[in-house]
Each structure stands twice: as C-alpha cells, then as structure tokens.
A = this chain, B = another copy of it.
C-alpha cells in the first residue's frame, strides 16, 4: 500500500479515537484492520461502556475482523492503531498473526494521558518476585500431565 493509503487508514483510527471518547464509548483509542486495501474492521475502545477491561480498540477490531472473515488467523492483514498497543493488545496482534503494525502515539504519550501502558510493559519485563501481581506457581506437575495428553492427541486444531 502507498504512504497515502497508510495515512488514510491511520487518520481514520485517530478520528475514531476522538469520536470514541466524546461519545462515551470508552478511552481515546481507535484501531483499523486492513487487508489488500480494504478495511475489514474498525473499532474504538469500549472498556467502560461494556464493562470489559479487555475491550481495547485493537482487541475489538481483531475480534470483529475474525468474525467477518470467519477465521482466527488474520495473516495477510495489517493493523493501524491510534496509539502503540499495550502488552495485552500486542499479544492479541501476535496471536491473530496480523503481519504488520502501524501506530501513531506511543506508550509515553499514553502515560501522559493517564494510562498504564508503560507501567505494564515494565511489569512484563520483571521477574515474578518483582511483579505487582506476585505470581505464585503451584501444581505444575498436574498441569503438565494435561499438556502431555494434548501432545498425544492427534485430532486437534492448533493455533
């Protein structure tokens, strides 16, 4: 796609970010999923209006694109996000197999606007002992048995 097209998609994501918070839908974030020059899905953040802390713009756009294309694999798609994806959204993009990410504002701009993206990026780089969540591992052997059964199963759908 040309730079002109990319600008068009990103400007749409940014416009959605503004409309999104003005309408009371949620935070000032928008995302657009594109494939072969066609917009497959476009969404704003709807965390507060839907009581779903996972409903960031990127996650909602990915869900909508998957629904529309009837697949959990968005290989060949690109995503335009009005802000650098947080760790959750970056993970969602990776799992969706989207091939290319464009973003406008970054995690530091988001911090300045009161969002925890940068804090959570730091959390992910820490060891368990240092993390806010103080994760505790337990019953590992029991869980490994389930993975072993999964490995031995032949008729499974991998992702």
Interface residues on A, range: 35 or more
- Report whether B110 and A28 are in contact in the complex, using a CB–CB cutoff of 8 Å: no
Closest Cβ of chain B: how far from A155's Cβ, in Å?
9
Cβ–Cβ < 8 Å partners of A52 in chain B: 63, 66-67, 72
Cβ–Cβ < 8 Å partners of A39 in chain B: none
**Complex alpha-carbon distance, A120 and B88, angstroms:** 11
A42 at the binding interface (Cβ < 8 Å)? no
Cβ–Cβ < 8 Å partners of A71 in chain B: 51
**Complex alpha-carbon distance, A124 and B122, angstroms:** 10
A158 at the binding interface (Cβ < 8 Å)? yes
Partner among B54, B104, B109, B113 whose Cβ is within 8 Å of the Cβ of A63: B54
Partner among B11, B140, B149 whose Cβ is within 8 Å of the Cβ of A142: B11
Q: Chain B residue with minimal CB distance to A123?
A: B94
Looking at A54, A63, A92, A103, which has the most chain B CB atoms within 10 Å of its CB? A54
Given pairs A51-B66, A87-B91, 18 additional interface contacts (CB within 8 A): A6-B138, A7-B138, A18-B149, A47-B95, A54-B54, A82-B146, A83-B143, A84-B137, A87-B88, A88-B94, A90-B124, A95-B120, A98-B133, A102-B137, A104-B137, A110-B147, A113-B147, A125-B125
